[in-house]
Amino acid sequence: MADLLSDDEIDAQLPDEWTQEGDEIVRAYEFDDYLRGVNFAQMVGEIAEAQFHHPEIIIRYEEVEIRLTSHEEGGVTEQDIEMAELIESERDA
Q: Among all residues, which ones are annotated catalytic?
A: 49, 53-54, 71-72, 80
Beta bridge partners of 75: 70
Instruction: Give least dist CB 74 to ligand H2B, A.
Output: 9
Site for ligand H2B in 46-85 (CB under 6 A): 52-54, 69-72
Per the CB < 8 A criterion, the answer to whether 53 and 80 are in contact is yes
Q: Measured from the CB atom, is 9 or 82 closer to ligand H2B?
A: 82
Instruction: Give least dist CB 72 to ligand H2B, A.
Output: 4
Rule CB under 6 A: say whether 27 interacts with ligand H2B: no
Question: Backbone phi, then psi, for 34, in 5-degree steps?
Answer: -60, -45
CA distance 59 to 5: 28
CA distance 3 to 9: 11
Q: Measured from the CB atom, is 9 or 24 closer to ligand H2B?
A: 24
Per the CB < 8 A criterion, the answer to whether 51 and 83 are in contact is yes
Residue ranges that bind ligand H2B, judged by CB under 6 A: 52-54, 69-72
